[in-house]
Chain A
Amino acid sequence: MPVPTLTALEWEALRLSLWVSFWAVAVSLPFGIFCAWLLARRRFPGRTLVDGLIHLPLVLPPVVVGYALLVLFGRRGVLGLLLHDLFGITFAFTWKGAALASAVMSFPLMVRAIRLSLENVDRGIEAAAATLGAGPIRVFFTITLPLALPGVLAGVILAFARSLSEFGATITFVSNIPGETRTLPLALYALTQVPGGEAAAFRLCLISVAIAFVTLIVSEMLARRIDLRLKG
């Protein structure tokens, strides 16, 4: 029986999906941890507003988010122009734009998971570290963050999965360009739009299911290792 192989187009969509999701998560993670910490530990004026802004993508139609990104980060957008001039980064109609759209859409999920685990970290243990001579930054990186690691991992996995399935904001913001912004969901959508694409679309479905499974299994393995570390 021949080993099932992927077509060049499928490979391209798969690779692009993983690449976009990877960067979406990697770049948003530090911001996610910071926002989670801010919401979990700080009381400041405007906290509710920040909380609301972070959660907005969860309740808005993805098309609205995509359109907002287009207005802000498009070629003529305020932030788009600024980033282009300062760092030479262009989001419009590039994979970076797809990563940005994925990051924005998955951000609330990431922040929620990390925030929950930060709230569960025993403040007494942090106080113990402080009496042992550790300043606030050292306490955060040696005590708080490691103890919140299960939640950080959960946040990363959720965000990664959400990024893989991102569709609406991406297609609105950076369109559906093969090899640049055509990730798995977009490729699947394109196939369903042409006659006779059902078989190919079904194959993409299977690929999506397979990645989802692998992601879950890897996260389960990591979670177990962290658990083992905490339980000796």
Chain B
Amino acid sequence: MIEVSIAKRQGDFDLSVAFAGEDGLVTALFGPSGSGKTSVISMVAGLSRPDRGLIRVGERVLFDSSAGIDLAPPQRRIGYVFQEGRLFPHYTVRGNLSYGMTLIPAADRFVRFDEVVEVLGLERLLDRRPARLSGGEKQRVAIGRALLTSPTVLLMDEPLASLDSARKDELLPFIALLPSRFRVPILYVSHAIDEVLRLADRLVLMDQGRSIASGPVEAVMAGPAFSKSSNGRDVVTVLVARVFGHDAEGGVSVLSFAGGQIKVPRLPAPVGRHLRVRIDAGDVILSLERPSGLSVQNVFPGRVLSLRQTGGLVDVGLDVGCALTAQISARAAVDLGLAVGMSLFALVKSAAISRSDIAEHEPGA
């Protein structure tokens, strides 16, 4: 359990956030650049100091302005993976990994060196120096180095931001493994939605120094704060689904979710694998009648739950067995005569769902 409730004024920038993360789970701090995400975790790590507030990890209070508690970074028992790695250039990989580990009492270590080396695939690299590592390798070492301090929480500040997409895909599975494998909660800073879909169980939405929403990823992304933070551009639904089967000839995979089945472009994931599917509200078409003679593969009967107009667009909240949001023009809404409670059909084109909209994600503990 990590609890953060802090405020700080930095020049013209007012930071004021409050959220909680749970054990064994990944909590993502998500928001545009400059929204204060990095400032928050640097205060959790003790590298900068809030004006007031409380930071608690489990039973340990790291900072409490009302009680005058402010632990120094070395006392906080926090693992911090920086965006640029920040490996020690004059130590080998082995030296980097064991630097923090040797500083804590043997009795407090619950992460074993050999296990970290194995899970992160560092065996071949142990005797190299950081200058001779690739970007992805550096970040793996940085993650291992932080983990080996047996931290109470692992802070990750956009650890993939400096990598190209191939390296990113290579590293994501390693990170996804960590919370369950090492029983360490993770606070993950990112502005990339695909990373959040893949890794996070809980989402804290940040905007201009404030935490504007927090909760389970699907719930926060379906909420109004999420679309507001991106000026209405990102109205999405995140479906929790499983791979039901593959249709090799048809080039599609069939996923099952609360609203039935949905066909998406062929996936490499095995049957039974848990997935998250992001559906852009603009890709959802509404029809008053069950359509025929269309190329659309996915047709879901449902009911209108809510209507919200922003500018010339209307967000239509639907219940198709689970929540689904469609975004249509105000004109179209009038023409269809949309009203809350109305029954209609939601259509989603398979090809509109790209690979980056689908992320493997095992539900957290």
Contacts and interface: CB of A to CB of B under 8 A. Distances in A.
Q: Do A and B bind each other?
A: yes
Interface of A: 122, 124-125, 127-135, 138, 142-143, 146-147, 229-232
Contact of A143 (B82, B88, B131): B88
Contacts of B73: 127, 130-131
Contacts of A125: 86, 88-89
Contact of B132 (A129, A146, A232): A232
A146 B88 CA distance: 10
Interface in B76-93: 76-80, 82, 84, 86, 88-90
Nearest to B148: A132
Contacts of B79: 131
A144 to B, nearest CB: 11
B47 A130 contact: yes
A129 B129 contact: no
Contact of B84 (A124, A132, A135): A124
Interface residues of B, number: 29
Contacts of B84: 124
A125 B145 CA distance: 13
Given A128-B80, A230-B131, A232-B129, A133 B90 contact: no
A138 B82 CA distance: 20
B100 A147 contact: no
B146 interface: yes
Nearest to A135: B74
B90 A132 contact: no
Interface of chain B: mostly helix, strand, loop or mixed: loop
16 contacts: A125-B86, A131-B45, A131-B46, A131-B74, A131-B100, A131-B146, A132-B103, A132-B145, A133-B103, A133-B104, A135-B74, A147-B89, A230-B90, A231-B129, A231-B131, A232-B128
A231 to B, nearest CB: 5
Contacts of A231: 89, 129, 131
Contacts of A133: 74, 77, 100, 103-104, 149
Contacts of A130: 46-47, 72-74
A124 B100 contact: no
A128 B129 contact: no
A128 B86 contact: yes
Give 7 nearest A-B pairs by CB, closest first. A132-B100, A232-B129, A133-B103, A232-B131, A232-B132, A128-B86, A130-B73
Contacts of B132: 232
Given A124-B84, A128-B86, A232 B146 contact: no
Interface in B45-61: 45-47
A83 B78 CA distance: 49
B19 interface: no
Given A127-B47, A147-B90, A230-B89, A132 B131 contact: no
Contacts of B149: 132-133
B90 A146 contact: yes
Contact of B99 (A124, A127, A129, A232): A129
B130 interface: yes
B76 A131 contact: yes
B61 to A, nearest CB: 18
Interface string B26-61: 000000000000000000011100000000000000
A128 B128 contact: no
Interface string B99-112: 11001100000000
A129 B86 CA distance: 9
Contacts of B78: 131
A97 B156 CA distance: 57
Given A131-B78, A133-B149, A138-B103, 17 more contacts: A124-B84, A129-B99, A130-B47, A130-B74, A131-B46, A131-B73, A131-B80, A131-B100, A132-B74, A133-B74, A134-B74, A142-B99, A143-B88, A229-B129, A230-B90, A230-B131, A231-B131
Nearest to A139: B74
B104 to A, nearest CB: 6
A129 B99 CA distance: 8
A230 to B, nearest CB: 5
